Structure 1
Amino acid sequence: MLIGNLYFISAIAVIGGGLFGFDVSSMSAIIDTDAYLCYFNPGPHTYNSDGSVVCKGPNANVQGGITASMSGGSWLGSLISGYLSDRFGRKTSIQIGSLIWCIGSIIVCASQNIPMLIVGRIINGLSVGICSAQVPVYISEIAPPTKRGRVVGLQQWAVTWGILIMFYVSYGCSFIKGTAAFRVPWGLQMIPAILLFLGLLMLPESPRWLARNDRWEECHAVLTLVHGKGDPSSPFVQREYEEIKSMCEFERNNADVSFLELFKPNMINRTQVGLFTQIWSQLTGMNVMMYYITYIFAMAGLKGNNNLVSSSIQYVINVIMTVPALVWGDRWGRRPTFMLGSLFMMIFLYANAGLMATYGHKAPAGGLNNIAAESWVIEGPASKAVIACTYLFVASYAISFGPASWVYPPELFPLRLRGKAGALCTSGNWAFNFALSYFVPPAFVNIQWKVYVVFGVFCTAMLIHIFFMFPETTGKTLEEVEAIFTDPSGIPYIGTPAWKTKNEYSRAELIEEVGYDEDKRGAAGEVVHQETMATGEKLV
């Protein structure tokens, strides 16, 4: 018996996002503990005057490599997810990812040295790459237009919950003596993956994937289950079914489903928009805050448990501030969400840079938090301002790029390419996640406070790029988004200028209520409107 409640489907599927969250905080909460530093200490031991061991742990470059190894695996996993998704289905590909996560977690939990830890994290990354690429595709292909942003955005909310839960689990385990301090939380990571695999058994497959594979009866049954409340003749079900059927017929006559099509003239515009959505999400610097927040707050003068507890507050903020984006994000629209988020993140990054440059100074000899021979530190009231700006930065990301960056890319592409496009766009996320994870510890050593300037410049660039290139997709069906990228004047491949596209949430809300668009006059399932596309005619 399959379950058709949209929110239940989304709640189960986005556990895949929670896997990424678990990994982020299981590392950020552990890398500063004595158990971790002593066990993964590649250098010779040194001793205090009382004979106790001084454990410096991995140096900045090694720690960057350990942290980045998961992102490297995720990049590869996101690329292969397109093939898995198109071949076996959206749901099955996510289940494969959950099994891979269990394997990786076993290796990480049993790690005897740094190479074994890195291998386990790479395998975990394969899982995260698959799930993070295909969960948004799966949910977006099931959700109606007015709820698509909300339910796909739950992916990010699951990430924030995963970060928060695992941080406190890891923090609690840090009081355990010996290697159990990090083995226990790394082993517990398997629980959500097991729940994800079992929960997916109760969920339907994507109706659009079923249609793409000529399983029309199953497609109609899923639409009836999820949108028709059991009524196969529901006007909205009939409208969705006809749109999917029309699009599949069009695509069958224009079938080219290789990755190369994403770079052809008629696709390159939306490819760069989707890819940069994920790249900009990383270049905001948010995951730097997630991975290395204990380092950042150490610069602001926090130590020991005060550092860990203060760091955890940002995870709470991340969870809470994601909620408004889920509730009202579809009403706000994608463009305003992205642009305002970029603006406020830019402001708080520049503010931190200014505070660090004006009131900070080099750390004392011997380094800071064992990450380097020298770094930067700020003290007094200015340090509290740095912490406040960091919290406000996290809030700005959580309400904007956090959920919207997962919602937006799957909306841009036609059905035949959506699985591969989702894989390519998400691979951009993980490629830059890898680079930044490796870059940041040495950056704190070499350019200190200027790290904030670097990310502030990125936020400035993304604000400009979004204004000129990111179209509004809110309120449109996945099939209607196609029309955005074709020029009404007949000039091929240019499309509607991004700043002229509009939020159509109100129209979509009306269609879901009455089953047809009053502006286009006609009942669902009939030929109600013809939109001329650069490559042919499409029924909407």
Structure 2
Amino acid sequence: MAVMLYVQGVPIGYMAIALAILASMGGFIFGYDTGQISDILIMDDFKLRFATCSTPGDANTCNFTIVREGLIVALLSIGTLFGSLIGAPTADYLGRRYAMSVECLVFAVGVVIQITTTHTWQQFAVGRLISGLGVGSLSAAVPMYQAETAPSQIRGTLTATYQLFITFGILVAYCISIGARDISGSGSWRTVVGISFVWPAILGIGILFMPESPRWLTSKGRYDEARNSLASSRGVPRAEAVDHFIITRELEEMREAVEYEKNVQTGWLDCFTVERKQLYRTLLISTLQMFQQLTGANYFFYYGATIFQSVGISDSYVTQIILGAVNFGCTFLGLYVMEKFGRRYPLIIGGVWQSCWLFVFAAAGTAKDPTTNESIGKLMIVSACLFILGYASTWAPGIWILVGETFPTRTRAKQAAISTASNWLWNFLLAFFTPFIVKAIKFRYGFVFAACNLTGAVIVYFFLYESSDLSLESVDMMYSDPYCKPWTSRSWAPPGFSSRADLVEQSRAAEAHKPLATEERIEKTGEGPQKV
């Protein structure tokens, strides 16, 4: 146990980084499961076993019915929908670590069901449904665990690793698929699915060696264990933790919060009251989660291999890897963009950017037949990559960040569950109905997504408040201020501060235990901002 670095004068331990990265394997599991199905659907042995073939033994004559293909792809999302709703109470009952271990086991059971089927596509689909229960539960438990264990000074970066690992999992699935496609017989798709055992094993076993959430331990009255968990994250020896200023302060804040929450009874209906714009915020983030799916990103991730086969690309596996690499690499850019430029501007600009390239994609595929025009096919690939660049840099990480910082503390878990369920619901609807829509309108489907991206940008402009650089308590205050409008919220600051910049400066000084600018001003002039 040792201090890795100091941020704003506060120690950060190696354990804080290790637990965030390990917990992010939950995102990797989801990304891998999302990425694998696109390539599996075009593997010869998989089509021979589960598709309808006009000539037995000839994979080129095998095709999935629209319903069958949609269910194989989309049942994962139904599982994640229900899993996300039960993930939080499971983590509250078992503790964050044990909950993740159990959820990894559920995912592994689904993998077993998938790889043991021989000619029954329904069994494979049900296996994906059960794996989805594990994935959805992890999507609730992992960010919660990361937020509760990470030091506040780097909490945003560490919790964002969940989205980063999702994109990494998608890329790894594409790479493994291209290596396994030439394996004879069922070894091709069974290898891709079977390797899925590795990821939950790493998370499910490894997490047991990590410290438990100090927030959860405090809620159970296990204060000594909570203090030790905080010491691990800070890199402070346990013998020194009892008298350590920062650890003592954080533990006391947790105890006060737990006592307050015990005295305040909250239910699901509190998420839909007009008081303090609770209904407004619930509907806003649920709508943005819906539009994150309606950007069209999963159109490429779920059906990318099929899409690029249809545009005449000889090796669609390679194209998938290119898309996956762009998605993964640009997520790093997204972490910087959302930190540097706030929330509203990136989402608005990202929505417009994505709309433009989807329009190009759809117009090119509609104007000429990409299977006979190589230039059109290349243009469609380039436009898809540039769309993914915008998505990974803005809407992919941005919406998940908003889930964590928009809601008030006492109802955050419930409102986050509702908004996340919206994401999984639309994930399922798109995955299931996309084959039907593509059959009817082909590449004109891109025009639909282009319009949705523009609509999302408009919603952000008129309804989303700028929450960057504000504490969670200040965000709650901003949404409750009747004089603050979304388009003016970037300049809003809590009472007692002259501007958002003044707020940031004083907050950083306070965290570093330096004299506040206002204190210096009072000492020199005898005046300071009037506190309200």
TM-score interval w.r.t. the shorter chain?
Answer: 0.7 to 0.9
The 1:292/1:467 distance shift into structure 2, 3 A limit, reads same
Rounded to whole Å, the distance in 1 between the matches of 2:481 and 2:514 is 28
Kindly state the Cα deviation for residue 320 of structure 1 after the two structures are TM-superposed: 0.9
On the 8 A contact 2:53/2:59 being kept in 1, the answer is no
Q: Residues 66-85 of structure 1 correspond to what in structure 2 (within 5 A)?
A: 66-85=72-91
The amino acid across from 1:30 in the alignment is I
Residue equivalent to 2:26: 16
Rounded to whole Å, the distance in 1 between the matches of 2:514 and 2:410 is 26
More displaced 10-residue stretch of structure 1: 448-457 or 293-302 = 293-302
- Number of positions where the alignment pairs a residue of Structure 1 with one of Structure 2: 500
On the 8 A contact 1:91/1:200 being kept in 2, the answer is yes
On the 8 A contact 1:484/1:495 being kept in 2, the answer is no
More displaced 10-residue stretch of structure 1: 188-197 or 420-429 = 420-429
2:293 alignment partner, one of 282, 285, 303: 282
On the 8 A contact 2:293/2:423 being kept in 1, the answer is yes
Rounded to whole Å, the distance in 2 between the matches of 1:109 and 1:510 is 56
On the 8 A contact 1:329/1:337 being kept in 2, the answer is yes
The amino acid across from 1:454 in the alignment is V
Residue equivalent to 1:299: 310
1:322 and 2:331 are equivalent in the alignment: yes
Rounded to whole Å, the distance in 2 between the matches of 1:512 and 1:16 is 31
The 1:495/1:54 distance shift into structure 2, 3 A limit, reads closer
Residue equivalent to 1:456: 450
1:346 alignment partner, one of 346, 355, 358: 355
Rounded to whole Å, the distance in 1 between the matches of 2:490 and 2:420 is 25
Residue equivalent to 2:110: 104
The 1:350/1:399 distance shift into structure 2, 3 A limit, reads same
2:139 alignment partner, one of 114, 121, 132: 132
2:92 alignment partner, one of 86, 95, 103: 86
Kindly state the Cα deviation for residue 7 of structure 1 after the two structures are TM-superposed: 1.7
On the 8 A contact 1:243/1:479 being kept in 2, the answer is no
Rounded to whole Å, the distance in 2 between the matches of 1:77 and 1:14 is 17
1:438 alignment partner, one of 432, 437, 442: 432
Is there any run of 5+ residues in structure 1 with no aligned partner, and where?
362-376, 522-528, 533-540
The amino acid across from 2:512 in the alignment is E
The amino acid across from 1:463 in the alignment is A
On the 8 A contact 1:207/1:219 being kept in 2, the answer is yes
The amino acid across from 2:189 in the alignment is F
On the 8 A contact 1:244/1:479 being kept in 2, the answer is no
DSSP-derived class of the 1:29 partner: helix
Residue equivalent to 1:514: 513
TM-score normalised by structure 1 residue count: 0.84
Rounded to whole Å, the distance in 2 between the matches of 1:140 and 1:228 is 17
Kindly state the Cα deviation for residue 518 of structure 1 after the two structures are TM-superposed: 4.9
1:64 alignment partner, one of 65, 70, 74: 70
1:486 and 2:475 are equivalent in the alignment: no
Q: Once superposed, what is the RMSD of the aligned Cα atoms?
A: 3.0
The 1:132/1:404 distance shift into structure 2, 3 A limit, reads same
Rounded to whole Å, the distance in 1 between the matches of 2:376 and 2:122 is 40
Deviations 1:316-346 (A, max 9, x none): 1111111122345323322233222212111
Deviations 1:170-199 (A, max 9, x none): 221110110111111111101110100112
The 1:53/1:242 distance shift into structure 2, 3 A limit, reads closer
Rounded to whole Å, the distance in 1 between the matches of 2:137 and 2:202 is 17
The amino acid across from 2:124 in the alignment is L
Q: Residues 168-317 of structure 1 correspond to what in structure 2 (within 5 A)?
A: 168-227=175-234, 229-230=236-237, 232=241, 236-237=246-247, 240-241=250-251, 243-256=253-266, 258-266=267-275, 267-303=278-314, 306-317=315-326
On the 8 A contact 1:228/1:237 being kept in 2, the answer is no
On the 8 A contact 1:224/1:237 being kept in 2, the answer is yes
Residue equivalent to 2:524: none
Counting aligned pairs with the same residue, the percent is 28
Rounded to whole Å, the distance in 2 between the matches of 1:145 and 1:476 is 13
DSSP-derived class of the 2:512 partner: helix
Rounded to whole Å, the distance in 2 between the matches of 1:14 and 1:509 is 28
Kindly state the Cα deviation for residue 403 of structure 1 after the two structures are TM-superposed: 2.1
The 1:380/1:402 distance shift into structure 2, 3 A limit, reads same
Kindly state the Cα deviation for residue 513 of structure 1 after the two structures are TM-superposed: 2.8
The amino acid across from 1:296 in the alignment is I
Residue equivalent to 1:95: 101
Rounded to whole Å, the distance in 2 between the matches of 1:8 and 1:352 is 41
1:34 and 2:33 are equivalent in the alignment: no
Q: Residues 373-522 of structure 1 correspond to what in structure 2 (within 5 A)?
A: 379-487=373-481, 498-501=489-492, 507-514=506-513, 518-519=517-518
DSSP-derived class of the 1:448 partner: helix
Residue equivalent to 1:166: 173
Residue equivalent to 2:525: none
On the 8 A contact 1:297/1:307 being kept in 2, the answer is yes
The amino acid across from 1:254 in the alignment is V
Rounded to whole Å, the distance in 2 between the matches of 1:449 and 1:388 is 15
Rounded to whole Å, the distance in 2 between the matches of 1:149 and 1:458 is 28
The 1:339/1:454 distance shift into structure 2, 3 A limit, reads same
Kindly state the Cα deviation for residue 519 of structure 1 after the two structures are TM-superposed: 4.7
The amino acid across from 1:115 in the alignment is Q
TM-score normalised by structure 2 residue count: 0.85
Residue equivalent to 1:157: 164
DSSP-derived class of the 2:185 partner: coil
Kindly state the Cα deviation for residue 6 of structure 1 after the two structures are TM-superposed: 2.1
Kindly indicate whether structure 1 or structure 2 has the higher relative contact order, using CA contacts under 8 Å at least 6 residues apart.
Answer: 1
Higher helix share: 2
Residue equivalent to 2:123: 116
Rounded to whole Å, the distance in 1 between the matches of 2:322 and 2:158 is 25
Deviations 1:7-55 (A, max 9, x none): 21110011000111111121111111111110112x35416xxx85644
The amino acid across from 2:322 in the alignment is I
